[in-house]
């Protein structure tokens, strides 16, 4: 504790438990343009004085704070909110003090004793005169007049001059803040584009945009595929790595160790004679072709997302030019990736702890900046959890300093705390455990954790029912209803979701081996020809779902999610409610892809803003409309028809009062 002479002991207000805050302010919270930041805190002092509490906030480009009065919420909790209008960093903090004049005013309203009131008016005059010294111009004059008035008015209970609203307004404008308590931290908000929160992803392998199995797709062919993707309603097209692919120790089809001459290799084995992370695989095209693809996507309302996989094939130029960026074995050779006894001899991981780490990190940042210069604004980052946290914290901050619009999706399939940490460090969105959450209790538990804990402030899940690495067991055995259901769940539980296609819409369901999650004849190792016009494709179903997402803002956010009880373990029910309450969606899903299931949903009427009048549930998938009333309502879903209701709640049901001749 400081000695008396070294501090100002008269700051009487305590500020505690400020929300939102991540790890004591170590990490920013996240918002997108158009959202609010609701700030609350416990603010209180000893005794009874009138407390004034202000929220102070500013965009990083502003030097001065903007201030908003916080309002008491009861039990010493105070709150207010501010709107996010610019990309980049915002800061917010609090200041509070016991206000002499308003404490005086509060007591004055309760005074009854005439002598007392006389003395109190003199004291009040002093508070007002002091404020006059802080004011200027007309305000100064007015305050001086009020001070004089208080000195001279008749001492009466509730004297109107003392309690004048004009005086109160003036006094609020010129407070004495010398003994204010400033909250010691400036907390940070990352303000990001709307797409950071609401996005619809489609992944495909550009080399598979072919009409013949032996041919290799190109960006030019991809361009022709884009309208198909746009018609399904996606707004992000994610391409696996587009760089030259290594030849040495190249993997063959189905991950075989022996590649044939015709084998195309894994796009994640990055780097060859033609270059590394800044080069383009020759068979896909040129940089000009790539930029044409970007333009075409933009015309269709889509962004292209690139894959950032920080690892090298054996032929990568870095290996020759910077052997110091890799770990050496005792015989001087470079250490390939391994997890003993497993070996991944076609890949050299970077050594992030090399003595030359600064040069390595700078080069990897340059890779990202290079592609941003080419027009890329979204990146999907491969295995970020195998690179140091400090590396990502530094790289993401460096990129966002100049480019706050850039979106990074973390492919962080790892332990929960590591996944969360990566999002705290700045990843915009993250893969997550959705592929392995299939039962009602798994889904309820997981999504309650994501949306009701502190994670909601910084973690944005992007839900993928499949990826090139994950053919989920549920999809292998559930047939068409499973594909419909998992897509509908991803698209309604998550404001952001994605699929790996055309494998998804064509319901590719055969694993390489029983019990595994790898696709047979995976595109990771070979070109695949997909018949996207197949009659049984889910493309129209997907298009309809994505249209519903576009038209219903409740589905464009994650936070206001509420699970509702159904008396059948195969039926999942949840509500999503738009931030402004204007749009309410109710989803009922049959998790059993084999049988019809029915049950009674138990609605929370208060949550949904309903009373005892009937209301209409409009299934936007089928167009069917149901009249419901009260909390308990019956649902029945046949998975062979539709495994899910996506209801829009329409409160108003017509009554006799709507009938023309009723009155």
Nearest to 347 by CA among 199, 420, 248: 248
Pick the closer one to a second copy by CB: 329 or 595: 329
CA distances from 298 to 219, 221, 466 (A): 15, 16, 25
CA distances from 429 to 140, 202, 392, 570, 590 (A): 53, 15, 14, 30, 28
- Look up residue 103 and give its two tokens: 């404490």
H or E stretch including 591? none
Pick the closer one to a second copy by CB: 4 or 663: 4
Pick the closer one to a second copy by CB: 385 or 618: 385
Q: What are phi and psi of 439, to 5 degrees?
A: -85, 165
Q: What is the DSSP string of 417-461?
A: HHHHHHHHHT-SEE--SGGG--SHHHHHHHHHHHHHSGGGGT--B
276/382 Cα distance (integer angstroms): 16
- Look up residue 306 and give its two tokens: 């690139």
Q: Do the beta carbons of residue 196 and residue 36 sit within 8 Å? A: no
CB of 114 to a second copy, least distance (A): 12
Pick the closer one to a second copy by CB: 11 or 278: 11
CB of 414 to a second copy, least distance (A): 9
Q: What b/e string do you get for 129-157 counting C-beta neighbours within 10 Å, with b at 16 or more?
A: bbbbeebeeebbebbbebbebbeebebee
Nearest to 197 by CA among 454, 559, 444: 559
38/18 Cα distance (integer angstroms): 11
CB of 8 to a second copy, least distance (A): 8
From the candidates 223, 411, 517, 558, give the one annotated as an active-site residue. Answer: 411
Pick the closer one to a second copy by CB: 321 or 359: 359
CB of 64 to a second copy, least distance (A): 24
- Look up residue 273 and give its two tokens: 């004679």
Radius of gyration of the chain (CA): 31
Q: E-assigned strands of 329-417?
A: 337-339, 342-344, 347-349, 378-381, 407-410
Q: Do the beta carbons of residue 464 and residue 439 sit within 8 Å? A: no
144/398 Cα distance (integer angstroms): 53
- Look up residue 646 and give its two tokens: 């996506």
480/509 Cα distance (integer angstroms): 10
CB of 134 to a second copy, least distance (A): 18
Pick the closer one to a second copy by CB: 126 or 291: 126
Would you call 411 a catalytic residue per the annotation? yes
- Look up residue 420 and give its two tokens: 């969360």
Would you call 346 a catalytic residue per the annotation? no
Nearest to 276 by CA among 313, 307, 239, 238: 313
Q: Do the beta carbons of residue 524 and residue 209 sit within 8 Å? A: no
CB of 28 to a second copy, least distance (A): 11
Pick the closer one to a second copy by CB: 112 or 320: 112
Pick the closer one to a second copy by CB: 51 or 293: 51
Q: Do the beta carbons of residue 209 and residue 531 sit within 8 Å? A: no
Pick the closer one to a second copy by CB: 30 or 387: 387
From the candidates 382, 505, 517, 523, give the one annotated as an active-site residue. Answer: 382
Nearest to 656 by CA among 614, 611, 599: 614
Q: Please give the distance of CA 261 from its chain centroid, rounded to a whole number.
A: 44
Pick the closer one to a second copy by CB: 390 or 596: 390
CB of 297 to a second copy, least distance (A): 31
Q: What is the DSSP letter of 179?
A: T
CB of 73 to a second copy, least distance (A): 13
Q: Do the beta carbons of residue 498 and residue 429 sit within 8 Å? A: no
CA distances from 1 to 6, 7, 9, 178, 654 (A): 10, 10, 11, 22, 69
Q: Is the peptide bond before 20 cis (omega within 30 degrees of 0)?
A: yes
Q: Do the beta carbons of residue 480 and residue 536 sit within 8 Å? A: yes
> What region does 487 belong to: left with phi over 0, alpha with psi -120 to 50, or beta?
alpha
Q: Which residues make up the interface to a second copy (CB under 8 A)? A: 1-2, 4-5, 7, 9-12, 14, 16-17, 23-24, 42, 44-48, 75-76, 107-108, 110-113, 116, 119-120, 122-123, 126, 179, 329-331, 338-341, 343, 352-353, 357-358, 361-362, 385-391, 393-394, 397-398, 401, 415-418, 421
CB of 237 to a second copy, least distance (A): 29
Look-up of token digits 């138990």: 602
Pick the closer one to a second copy by CB: 314 or 425: 425
CB of 346 to a second copy, least distance (A): 16
Look-up of token digits 């208080």: 150
CB of 417 to a second copy, least distance (A): 5
CB of 31 to a second copy, least distance (A): 20
> What region does 195 belong to: left with phi over 0, alpha with psi -120 to 50, or beta?
alpha
Pick the closer one to a second copy by CB: 119 or 295: 119
Point out the residues that are catalytic. Answer: 382, 411
């Amino acid at each position: 504790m400081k000695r008396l002479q070294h501090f100002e002991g008269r700051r009487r207000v305590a500020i505690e438990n400020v929300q939102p805050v991540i790890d004591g302010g170590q990490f920013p919270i996240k918002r997108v343009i158009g959202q609010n930041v609701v700030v609350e805190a416990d603010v209180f002092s000893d005794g009874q004085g009138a407390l004034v509490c202000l929220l102070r906030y500013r965009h990083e480009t502003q030097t001065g704070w903007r201030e908003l009065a916080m309002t008491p919420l009861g039990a010493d909790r105070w709150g207010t909110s501010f709107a996010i209008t610019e990309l980049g960093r915002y800061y917010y903090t609090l200041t509070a003090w016991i206000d002499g004049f308003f404490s005086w005013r509060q007591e004055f309203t309760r005074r009854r004793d005439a002598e007392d009131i006389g003395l109190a008016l003199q004291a009040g005059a002093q508070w007002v005169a002091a404020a006059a010294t802080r004011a200027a111009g007309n305000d100064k004059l007015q305050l001086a007049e009020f001070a004089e008035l208080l000195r001279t008015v008749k001492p009466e209970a509730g004297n109107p001059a003392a309690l004048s609203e004009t005086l109160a307004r003036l006094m609020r404008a010129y407070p004495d803040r010398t003994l204010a308590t400033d909250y010691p931290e400036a907390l940070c908000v990352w303000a990001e584009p709307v797409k950071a929160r609401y996005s619809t992803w489609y992944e495909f392998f550009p080399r598979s945009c072919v009409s013949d199995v032996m041919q290799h797709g190109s960006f030019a062919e991809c361009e022709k595929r884009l309208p198909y993707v746009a018609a399904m309603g996606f707004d992000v097209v994610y391409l696996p790595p587009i760089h030259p692919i290594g030849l040495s120790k190249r993997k063959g089809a189905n991950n075989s160790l022996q590649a044939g001459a015709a084998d195309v290799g894994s796009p994640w084995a990055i780097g060859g004679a033609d270059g590394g992370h800044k080069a383009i695989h020759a068979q896909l095209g040129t940089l000009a072709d790539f930029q044409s693809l970007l333009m075409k996507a933009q015309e269709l309302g889509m962004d292209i997302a690139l894959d950032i996989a920080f690892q090298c094939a054996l032929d990568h130029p870095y290996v020759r030019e910077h052997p110091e960026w890799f770990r050496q074995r005792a015989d001087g050779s470079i250490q390939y990736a391994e997890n003993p006894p497993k070996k991944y001899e076609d890949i050299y991981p970077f050594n992030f702890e090399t003595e030359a780490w600064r040069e390595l990190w700078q080069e990897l940042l340059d890779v990202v900046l290079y592609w941003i210069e080419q027009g890329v604004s979204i990146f999907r980052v491969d295995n970020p959890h195998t690179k140091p946290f400090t590396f990502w914290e530094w790289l993401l901050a460096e990129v966002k300093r100049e480019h706050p619009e850039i979106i990074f999706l973390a492919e962080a399939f790892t332990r929960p705390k590591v996944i969360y940490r990566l999002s705290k460090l700045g990843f915009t969105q993250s893969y997550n455990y959705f592929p392995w959450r299939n039962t009602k209790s798994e889904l309820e538990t997981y999504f309650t954790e994501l949306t009701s804990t502190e994670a909601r402030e910084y973690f944005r899940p992007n839900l993928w029912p499949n990826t090139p690495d994950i053919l989920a067991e549920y999809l292998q055995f559930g047939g068409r209803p499973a594909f419909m259901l998992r897509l509908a769940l991803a698209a309604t539980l998550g404001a952001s979701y994605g699929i790996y296609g055309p494998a998804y819409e064509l319901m590719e369901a055969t694993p390489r081996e029983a019990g595994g999650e790898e696709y047979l004849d995976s595109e990771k190792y070979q070109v695949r020809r997909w018949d996207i016009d197949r009659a049984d494709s889910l493309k129209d179903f997907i298009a309809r779902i994505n249209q519903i997402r576009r038209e219903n803002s409740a589905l464009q956010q994650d936070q206001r999610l509420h699970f509702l009880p159904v008396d059948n373990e195969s039926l999942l029910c949840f509500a999503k409610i738009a931030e402004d309450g204007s749009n309410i969606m109710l989803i009922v899903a049959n998790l059993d892809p084999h049988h019809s299931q029915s049950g009674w949903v138990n609605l929370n009427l208060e949550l949904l803003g309903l009373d005892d009048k009937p209301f209409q549930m409009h299934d936007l998938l089928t167009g069917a409309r149901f009249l419901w009333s009260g909390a308990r309502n019956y649902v029945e879903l046949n998975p062979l028809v539709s495994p899910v209701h996506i209801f829009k709640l329409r409160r108003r049901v017509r009554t006799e009062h709507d009938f023309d001749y009723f009155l």
